[in-house]
Amino acid sequence: MSKPFLSVERLTQSFPDGAGGTLTVFENASFGIEKGEFVCILGHSGCGKSTIMNVLAGLADPTSGVVKMDGVAVSGPSLDRGVVFQNYSLLPWLSALKNVTFGVKARYRDWSREKVIAHATQYLAMVGLEGDVIHRKPSQLSGGMRQRVSIARAFANQPKLLLLDEPFGALDALTRGTIQEELLKIWGQTEQTVFMITHDIDEAILLADRILLMTNGPFARVAESVEITIPRPRVRTEIVEHPNYYAIRNHLVQFLGKRSKELAGQASDGESQSPQSVRIDLTTPPTEDPEPAPRPPRLQAVNS
């Protein structure tokens, strides 16, 4: 079988626990992401989601294991991987616009100044930032505005892989909905692959092709990979009517409420820890038969 676009192989991350011991956040975690896929990861606070993302971004070295993108081991940050951090991380001495043009200039070195500014302004407008506000420094912006600058900055660089750590956490519900739609639009128009951390189950179902579920730490595991069997394009108000919506949602709630604890804290015993593939589909596939026999609902868990 061919290797996925992004391949996480036996990743282990341990930190000193501050009391002379070692905290193993996760051990031998292995999973893949295909090119163009939109993958969300859900798990309780502290299980290691940001830690995984920092390794994928090349910002932290794992204790062991390797991440490969297009077959090449990730080492150090790259313009091919755009990151939206949980805490925005804007450059405080630059305006919103310059925070965006900074990366665009580095990525597209042959572009004229006007082209860089027009491109950055377009991405800021996409996240609802227009007019004078784009000339303000981060300290003069609200938390939600800063988060939007951070999103525009990552998208404007058009990286092959977008890594988003709770990118909409500081946004009000209305802005959040608009930006989720923008994100889907941008993703639909490009070849980008997205890996996104969120705590919002409904957001994950709306956006993702697959949701990875993490158990609680220490020794957290990416235990399941749940396929979102709801066709695209998806509209928030319509997908809740889809027969699979609540079946998938209930599965995720059960996992986070119960199984994430039950499965927690188990060392890997040297085994590679790959998620179990879960496919929930209550729809009946179309058939040529004018009088089809009734089919039982499909609910499967397949070992990948």
Ligand X SMILES: Nc1ncnc2c1ncn2[C@@H]1O[C@H](COP(=O)(O)OP(=O)(O)OP(=O)(O)O)[C@@H](O)[C@H]1O
Report d(CA 280, CA 297) in Å as an integer. 9
Helix axes 143-156, 173-189, angle to 10 degrees: 0
Report d(CA 233, CA 231) in Å as an integer. 6
Q: Which two tokens stand for residue 113?
A: 């100044």
- Say which residue the tokens 């058009």 belong to: 158
167 binds, among Mg ion, ligand X, none (CB under 5 to 8 A by kind): none
Binding to ligand X by residue 45, rule CB under 6 A?
A: yes
Binding to ligand X by residue 50, rule CB under 6 A?
A: yes
211 binds, among Mg ion, ligand X, none (CB under 5 to 8 A by kind): none
* Residue nearer to ligand X on the CB measure, 200 or 281: 200
* Residue nearer to ligand X on the CB measure, 64 or 300: 64
Burial of 151 (0-12, 13-18, 19+ CB in 10 A): buried
Q: Least distance in Å: CB of 147 to ligand X?
A: 15
25 binds, among ligand X, Mg ion, none (CB under 5 to 8 A by kind): ligand X
- Give, as ranges, the residues between 22 and 41 that touch ligand X (CB under 6 A): 25
Write the single-letter amino acid at 155.
F
Element spanning 238, H or E: helix 236-239
Classified as helix, coil or strand, 214 is: strand
Binding to Mg ion by residue 147, rule CB under 5 A?
A: no
* Residue nearer to Mg ion on the CB measure, 4 or 217: 217
Partners of 194 in the β-ladder: 38, 162
- Count CB-CB contacts under 10 A for residue 260: 23
244 binds, among ligand X, Mg ion, none (CB under 5 to 8 A by kind): none
Q: Least distance in Å: CB of 282 to Mg ion?
A: 33
* Residue nearer to ligand X on the CB measure, 48 or 159: 48
Q: Mask 22-51, x = binds Mg ion (CB under 5 A)?
A: ----------------------------x-
- Give, as ranges, the residues between 62 and 101 that touch ligand X (CB under 6 A): 86
Residue selected from 51, 99, 244, 273 as contacting ligand X according to rule CB under 6 A = 51
Q: Least distance in Å: CB of 165 to Mg ion?
A: 6
Report d(CA 179, CA 187) in Å as an integer. 12
Classified as helix, coil or strand, 90 is: coil
What are the backbone angles phi and psi of residue 43, rounded to the nearest 5°? 180, 160
- Give, as ranges, the residues between 202 and 241 that touch ligand X (CB under 6 A): 217
Report d(CA 88, CA 173) in Å as an integer. 18
* Residue nearer to ligand X on the CB measure, 13 or 244: 13
Q: Which two tokens stand for residue 18?
A: 């501050």
Q: Which two tokens stand for residue 119?
A: 């491109």
Residue selected from 4, 32, 48, 58 as contacting ligand X according to rule CB under 6 A = 48
* Residue nearer to ligand X on the CB measure, 30 or 190: 30
In the complex, the residues that contact ligand X under the rule CB under 6 A are: 15, 25, 43, 45-51, 86, 217
